[in-house]
Chain A
Amino acid sequence: MSRGNAQPDEFGDGEVHAPVRLREDLGRLFLADATVPPAVDESILTTARAGLARRWRHRLLVKWSAAVAAAAAVVLVSVRIGMHPVERGGIGTVATRVEDLNGDGRVDILDAFVLARRIKGGDALQKNWDVNGDGFVDQHDVDAIAQAAVKVDDAGVVQ
């Protein structure tokens, strides 16, 4: 960018300028010889090409490994979801019965035991534990759950 004999410190374009002769003499003083032997170029570029090739291969390996790990994680999670027992009223699952107090997906004597323990312990009792529908949560509901636990199914099999 030539500024001719413009005065220095001109900020018109936001830059600081110096007289042409000063710039020329600074160049003579400091623009050193830049001769580089071809062997030096070759050495630098050979080293760089080998280094770059290693780094590209490494990056590809890292990307591939990450993809495999991610795919394996997806498979593992899918399998675990598939193995999970019918649970506590989650989305897409079989609705749990009100008698299933411990939420394990089954109505059995354990549920009767859980209610009995809570009644005896004076714990807060939930309305939906009124299994027999008499308006109270008490021993009668424990008995109802116990009966449901040993209910004979349609095929005559004790469940």
Chain B
Amino acid sequence: MLLRSAAIVLVGCGLALVANAFHPMGLPIPLGEVEGPGIPRWVWHRVRTVYPNEAHALWEKRSVVFVDVRDRKDYVESHIPRAISLPYREFTTAYPEVRGRLPQGAAILMYCYGSHCGLGMRVAKLLLPRGYSDLIVMRGGIAEWEAAGYGTTAGPRGSTVPVGGGSRGGGGR
């Protein structure tokens, strides 16, 4: 009887893997180095990932909007200068508040806590259907950013300086 129970499990798993291969929201199995769970394959194909040094170069050029997807309290404690807070866990309510500062044509870089945090990709998954196409996720999150010697700042809200303008900062080595 246990063998038959196991056989039902195997039947289910077999069907699942076949269906997942053709499912539009199919998930990558197994996960790769930086892949977080719950992110469909098509999202991975449309989102770039960069290391903190590349992200810092983009930050210096002011060519991307930095988005902090961690919880609000963590953002208040410390975040990359000029980053906008868009917590994944409050996305539904937070997105309308920051939509004006996230132009659809702009490159948007998301960062999370650390290497094993998949919230950046999860926010990318939510932004792609909203018309954003140039999305980047920083590997290693703010932990690797700080480990690389780049600065952070504290406070309740990021700069409202538009991309490419203003001089607020402090993220240099």
A and B interact physically: no
Please report B residues at the A interface, Cβ cutoff 8 Å: none
Please report A residues at the B interface, Cβ cutoff 8 Å: none
